[in-house]
Structure 1
Amino acid sequence: MTAPDTREALLRRLAALPPARREALRRSLADRAAVRLPSGPLSSGQERLWFLSRFDPDDSGNHILWCVRLRGPIDAAALAGAFTRVAGRHDVLRARFRLDGDRPVQVIPPPAPVELTRIRLDGGEQAVIDEAVAVFFNRPFDLEREPPMRVALMEIDGEHAVLCIVLHHIAGDGWSLDILMRELAECYAARREGREPALEELAVTYADFVAAERREAEASGRERLGYWTARLAGVPALDLPGDGPRPPRWSGRGAKEPLAVPDEVISGLEGVARRERCTLFMALLAAYQWTLGAAAGQDDFCVGVPVAGRGRSEYAPVIGYFSNTIALRADLSGDPTFREVLARIRPDTLRALARADVPFERILGALRLPRDLSRPPLCQVMFNLHNLPKDDLLRTSMGDLSVEVYPPPQTGRTKADVWADVYRGPEGLGGYFEYNSDLFSAATARRLVQDFTGLIARVGADPDLRLSEWKG
Structure 2
Amino acid sequence: MSTESADPIPLSFSQDFMVMFDQGDQQGPFGPRYHVVYGWRVRGGIDVATLRAALADVVTRHEILRTVLVRDEQSRHPELFAPSQPELEIRDLTGTEVSARDRAAEELLIEIEASEYSFARAPMLRGVLGRFDDGDSVLVLIAQHISADVWSMQVIIKELAEYYAARSAGREPELPPVVQYREYATWERAAMAGESLERSRAYWRETLDGAKLIPTPSDFSRSANLPKNTSVERYLVGTDVTTATLELARATRSSPFMVLLAAYKVMLRELTGETDITVTTMMSGRGQSRFENTVGSFFNFIALRTSLAGCESFREVVERVRRTCLGAFSHAIPFPMIMGDVPDLAQAFFAEDSQVFAFQVFQFPFVMSAQRVGDLEYSEIRRRLLPASVSTDIPDGALWTLDIDPTTNEMMGQLQFNSNRFEASTVGGLVARYLQVLKESVSTPD
TM range (shorter): 0.7 to 0.9
Q: Which residue of 1 aligns with 2:189?
A: 214
Deviation at 1:78? Answer: 0.4
Equivalent of residue 400 in structure 1, options 375, 382, 403: 375
Deviations 1:310-335 (A, max 9, x none): 22222122111123232212323356
- Give the secondary-structure state (helix, strand or coil) at the position aligned to 1:314: helix
Distance 2:3 2:246 in 1: 59
Between structure 1 and structure 2, the one with the greater Rg is 1
Equivalent of residue 23 in structure 2, options 47, 54, 64: 54
Contact map agreement 2:125 2:141 (CA 8 A) in 1: yes
Deviation at 1:339? Answer: 3.4
Deviation at 1:47? Answer: 1.8
Q: Which residue of 2 aligns with 1:91?
A: 63
Deviation larger for 43-52 or 129-138: 129-138
Q: 1:332 to 1:379 in 2, by over 3 A?
A: farther
Distance 1:460 1:99 in 2: 48
Q: Which residue of 1 aligns with 2:85?
A: 113
Stretches of structure 2 lacking an aligned partner (at least 5 in a row):
none
Equivalent of residue 271 in structure 2, options 270, 277, 295: 295
Distance 1:192 1:221 in 2: 49
Distance 1:135 1:460 in 2: 36
The answer on 1:431 being equivalent to 2:412 is: yes
Q: Which residue of 1 aligns with 2:313?
A: 337
Contact map agreement 1:302 1:328 (CA 8 A) in 2: yes
Deviation at 1:80? Answer: 0.8
Equivalent of residue 391 in structure 2, options 412, 416, 423: 412
TM-score by length of 2: 0.82
- Give the secondary-structure state (helix, strand or coil) at the position aligned to 1:105: strand
- Give the secondary-structure state (helix, strand or coil) at the position aligned to 2:214: coil
The answer on 1:451 being equivalent to 2:433 is: yes
- Give the secondary-structure state (helix, strand or coil) at the position aligned to 1:385: strand
Matches within 5 A, 1:230-269: 230-246=206-222, 251-263=228-240, 265-269=241-245
Distance 1:154 1:69 in 2: 9
Deviation at 1:364? Answer: 2.9
Distance 1:177 1:34 in 2: 24
Deviation at 1:349? Answer: 1.2
Equivalent of residue 161 in structure 1, options 130, 137, 144: 137
Q: Which residue of 1 aligns with 2:39?
A: 67
Q: 1:326 to 1:161 in 2, by over 3 A?
A: same
- Give the secondary-structure state (helix, strand or coil) at the position aligned to 2:41: strand
Deviation at 1:293? Answer: 2.6
Equivalent of residue 309 in structure 1, options 282, 285, 296: 285
> Structure 2: which amino acid aligns with 1:450?
A
Distance 2:40 2:229 in 1: 25
Q: 1:364 to 1:61 in 2, by over 3 A?
A: farther
Deviation at 1:83? Answer: 1.0
Matches within 5 A, 1:114-133: 114-121=86-93, 123-124=95-96, 132-133=108-109
Q: 1:194 to 1:387 in 2, by over 3 A?
A: same
Contact map agreement 2:268 2:277 (CA 8 A) in 1: no
Deviations 1:278-328 (A, max 9, x none): 443322211111112312333334322232222222212211112323221
Distance 2:431 2:315 in 1: 21
Distance 2:88 2:324 in 1: 46
Deviation at 1:190? Answer: 1.0
Q: How many residues align?
A: 427
Deviation larger for 91-100 or 403-412: 403-412
Deviations 1:22-65 (A, max 9, x none): xxxxxxxxxxx998456522111112223434356334563111
- Give the secondary-structure state (helix, strand or coil) at the position aligned to 2:168: helix
Q: Which residue of 2 aligns with 1:4?
A: none
- Give the secondary-structure state (helix, strand or coil) at the position aligned to 1:225: helix
Distance 1:303 1:156 in 2: 43
Deviation at 1:66? Answer: 0.8
TM-score by length of 1: 0.78
Deviation at 1:68? Answer: 1.6
- Give the secondary-structure state (helix, strand or coil) at the position aligned to 1:172: coil
Q: Which residue of 2 aligns with 1:76?
A: 48
Q: Which residue of 2 aligns with 1:325?
A: 301
Distance 2:341 2:108 in 1: 42
Deviation at 1:169? Answer: 1.6
Deviation at 1:213? Answer: 1.1
Deviation at 1:460? Answer: 3.4
Distance 1:157 1:275 in 2: 47
